[in-house]
C-alpha cells in the first residue's frame, strides 16, 4: 500500500499513464509571447569541455592533451571562434548561432565542488550549493519561487530533478514512458483523490502536463535522438498553455574510454539547439538555453582513449536573448604548472556567477534576492554581467 507521501512523489510518473481526464482545465494560464523562455539542459556524466570547445590556440594544447587533442583533419574543420578557442567539428550546426551572436561558450568554469563523485557533483550543480548533501530545492526551483512563471515549469525526464524542486507547480513528462497507458488506473485514482486537497491538484497538474506533451507529439515511444528532443521541447513551449521554463536531463557524457565516441552525441546536442531555434520561431528572441555539466575531465588521457573525472569545464549559453558571439573565459592555460592538482583544467569562473548572471536579468530577479535566496553560499561572488541582451 502506497503512502500519501510516496504517491505524491510519483505524481509526475503517473501523468504518463493518465489519458481520460481531458475534461480537466488545461489552460488556467497562458504565457504571453513576451514572457522570457528558459531551457536548462544538464549533460550528466561530465562533458569534456576541452573536447567540445578545444583551446587550439593555447601553445600547450597539443602537448598537454596528447592523443586526446584534435587530429590535424579535425582542427582543419573545427569552427574557429577566436585566437584561442574553436568548436569541435561535430558542433558545426551551431556555427550560424555563433555568427548571429546567439552562442556564448563559458570556459574554465566549475561549481564550488572539488571532489570527483558524479553524484555529489550533480547535487552541487543542481542545488547551487557547495559540497555534498541533497537539499530539498535546487537553484532553479528557488529562483522560480521568487519569480513564478506564467505557466508551470516542466522537466523532460524521469521525474522532477533536484534542479527544479522548490518551483511552484513543477511537473514532469518522460519522453520514453509517454506511450504507456492504463485508463483503469487513471479512473480509479481520479475518483479516489478528486477531493483530496494535496493529491487532487497535484494529479491535475500531471494530467495537464501530459495533455501538453500529447499535443507536442511526445507519445508513441518518445523522440528519436537529441535533435528530435529539441523539436519536442519547442513544441511544448510554443503551446499557449505550455511551459516557459523547461529542464532537460541528457545522460551519457561519461568518457572514461573511447571519448571520441562522443562525437555523435555532440552532433545531436547541436541539432537539438538548432531544432529549438527553428521550432520556437519568434519566441527564440526571448529564449536562453543553458547547457551545463557536473564537472570537466582531466587534461591528459588515461590510456584507454578516454579521460577521467576532472574539474574545470565548459558551459554553453544559446538563444536570441543571449549576448553571444564571444567566448567568456579567464583562460588559465594548459601548461603543467597551471593545472589544478597537476591534472585538471583550473576553473577561473564560478558557474554560479554565470547562472545568476542569466536568471537575474532574464527572469527579473534582483541581485540581492539571488544572493539571499538562490545562491546564499556564493554571496561574495558577483553575477557575471552582460550575458543577456538588454530589452529582450
Could you tell me which of 326, 324, 311 has the C-alpha nearest to residue 358?
324
Please count the other Cβ atoms lying within 10 Å of the Cβ belonging to residue 355.
27
| 258 and 166 in a common domain | yes
Residue 387 lies in a domain: no
Count of other CB atoms within 10 angstroms of residue 200: 14
Q: Average pLDDT of 195-202?
A: 62
Model pLDDT, residue 291? 98
Between 309 and 183, where is the model more confident?
309
Does residue 195 carry a pLDDT above 80?
A: no
The better pLDDT of the pair 6, 261 is held by: 261
Same-domain status, 25 and 86: no
Domain that holds residue 212: 1-30+180-217
Nearest CA to 372 among 35, 160, 114, 145? 145
Q: What's the rounded mean pLDDT across residues 10-25?
A: 32
pLDDT at 200: 59
pTM exceeds 0.95 for this model: no
Check whether 19 has a pLDDT greater than 60. no
Mean pLDDT, residues 332-353: 97
**pLDDT of residue 203 exceeding 80:** no
When mean pLDDT is compared across 12-16, 66-70, 184-188, 346-350, the lowest value belongs to 12-16
Based on the fold, state whether residues 206 and 352 are members of the same structural domain. Answer: no
Domain end, chosen from 217, 238, 268, is at 217
Single out the residue of 384, 326, 329, 391 nearest to residue 357, CA to CA.
384
Per the domain annotation, does 253 fall within a domain? Answer: yes
Q: Does residue 19 sit in the same domain as residue 38?
A: no
pLDDT at 130: 82
Residues 193-200 have a mean pLDDT of 62
Most confident by average pLDDT, 70-79, 173-182, 206-215? 70-79
Q: Which residue did the predictor score with more confidence, 311 or 15? A: 311
Q: Binning pLDDT at 50, 70 and 90, where does residue 29 land?
A: low
Report if residue 385 sits inside a domain. no
Do 8 and 89 belong together in one domain? no
Nearest to 314 by CA among 19, 29, 40, 106: 106
Lowest-confidence region among 73-87, 200-214, 274-288, 373-387: 200-214
Q: How many domains does the chain have?
A: 2
Mean pLDDT (whole number) for 32-52: 97
Same domain assignment for residues 93 and 23: no
> For residue 384, is it within any domain?
no
Model confidence pLDDT, tens digit, residues 102-152: 999 999 999 999 999 999 999 999 999 986 566 789 999 999 999 999 999
Same domain, 163 and 192: no
Give the tens place of pLDDT for each residue, 364-374: 999 999 999 99
My answer on whether 21 and 40 are in the same domain is: no
For the chain, what percent of residues have pLDDT higher than 70? 78
Three cell numbers, residue 270: 547541436
Residue at a domain's end among 165, 199, 217:
217
Average pLDDT of span 314-336:
98
Asked if residue 383 belongs to a domain, the reply is: no
- Average model confidence (pLDDT) across the chain: 85
- Cα(333)–Cα(59) distance, rounded to whole angstroms? 8
Is there a contact between 122 and 254 (Cβ–Cβ < 8 Å)? no
Q: Note whether residue 388 is domain-resident.
A: no
> How deeply is 22 buried, as exposed, middle or buried, from its count of CB atoms within 10 A (0-12, 13-18, 19+)?
exposed
For residue 244, give the CATH number of its domain. 3.40.720
Q: Rg (Cα) of the chain, in Å, rounded?
A: 21
Looking at residue 202, its pLDDT comes to 56
pLDDT digits (tens, 9 = 90+) for 218-234: 443 333 478 888 998 99
| Single residue among 191, 217, 243 that ends a domain in this structure | 217
Give the least confident one: 176-180, 279-283, 339-343. Answer: 176-180
The residues with which 297 forms a beta bridge, in sequence order, are 309
Same domain, 2 and 136: no
Is residue 363 assigned to a domain? yes
In a domain, 390, yes or no: no
**With 70 as the cut, is the pLDDT of residue 386 above it?**
yes
For residues 230 and 200, membership in a common domain is answered with no
Q: Same domain for 236 and 98? A: yes
If asked whether residues 97 and 204 sit together in one domain, one would say no
**Does the structure show a pLDDT above 90 at 199?**
no
Amino acid at each position: 500500500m502506497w503512502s500519501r507521501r510516496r504517491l505524491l512523489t510519483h505524481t509526475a510518473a503517473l501523468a504518463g499513464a493518465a489519458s481520460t481526464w481531458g475534461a480537466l482545465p488545461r489552460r488556467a494560464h497562458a504565457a504571453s509571447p513576451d514572457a522570457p523562455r528558459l531551457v536548462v539542459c544538464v549533460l550528466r556524466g561530465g562533458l569534456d569541455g576541452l573536447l567540445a570547445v578545444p583551446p587550439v590556440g593555447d601553445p600547450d594544447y597539443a602537448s598537454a592533451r596528447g592523443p586526446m587533442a584534435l587530429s590535424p583533419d579535425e582542427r582543419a574543420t573545427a569552427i574557429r571562434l577566436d585566437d584561442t578557442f574553436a568548436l569541435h567539428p561535430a558542433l558545426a550546426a551551431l556555427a550560424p548561432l555563433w555568427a548571429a551572436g546567439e552562442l556564448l561558450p563559458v570556459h574554465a568554469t566549475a561549481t564550488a565542488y572539488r571532489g570527483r563523485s558524479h553524484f555529489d557533483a550533480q547535487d552541487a550543480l543542481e542545488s547551487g550549493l557547495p559540497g555534498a548533501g541533497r537539499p530539498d530545492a535546487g537553484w532553479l526551483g528557488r529562483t522560480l519561487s521568487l519569480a513564478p512563471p506564467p505557466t508551470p515549469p516542466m522537466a523532460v525526464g524521469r521525474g522532477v530533478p533536484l534542479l527544479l524542486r522548490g518551483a511552484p507547480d513543477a511537473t514532469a513528462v518522460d519522453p520514453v514512458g509517454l506511450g504507456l497507458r492504463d485508463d483503469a488506473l487513471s479512473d480509479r485514482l481520479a475518483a479516489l483523490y478528486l477531493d483530496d486537497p494535496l493529491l487532487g491538484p497535484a494529479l491535475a497538474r500531471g494530467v495537464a502536463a501530459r495533455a501538453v506533451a500529447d499535443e507536442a507529439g511526445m507519445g508513441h515511444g518518445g523522440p528519436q535522438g537529441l535533435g528530435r528532443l529539441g523539436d519536442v521541447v519547442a513544441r511544448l513551449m510554443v503551446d499557449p498553455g505550455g511551459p516557459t521554463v523547461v529542464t532537460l536531463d541528457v545522460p551519457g557524457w561519461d568518457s572514461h574510454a573511447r571519448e571520441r565516441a562522443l562525437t555523435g552525441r555532440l552532433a545531436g546536442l547541436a541539432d537539438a539547439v538548432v531544432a529549438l531555434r527553428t521550432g520556437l520561431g519568434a519566441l527564440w528572441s526571448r529564449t536562453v538555453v543553458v547547457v551545463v555539466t557536473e564537472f570537466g575531465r582531466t587534461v591528459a588521457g588515461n590510456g584507454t582513449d578516454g579521460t577521467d573525472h576532472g574539474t574545470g569545464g565548459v558551459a554553453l549559453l544559446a538563444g536570441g536573448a543571449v549576448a553571444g558571439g564571444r567566448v567568456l573565459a579567464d583562460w588559465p592555460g594548459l601548461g603543467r604548472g597551471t593545472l589544478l592538482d597537476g591534472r585538471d583544467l583550473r576553473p577561473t569562473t564560478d558557474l554560479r556567477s554565470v547562472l545568476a548572471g542569466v536568471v537575474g536579468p532574464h527572469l527579473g530577479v534582483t541581485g540581492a534576492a539571488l544572493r539571499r535566496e538562490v545562491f546564499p553560499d556564493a554571496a561574495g561572488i558577483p553575477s557575471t554581467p552582460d550575458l543577456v541582451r538588454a530589452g529582450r
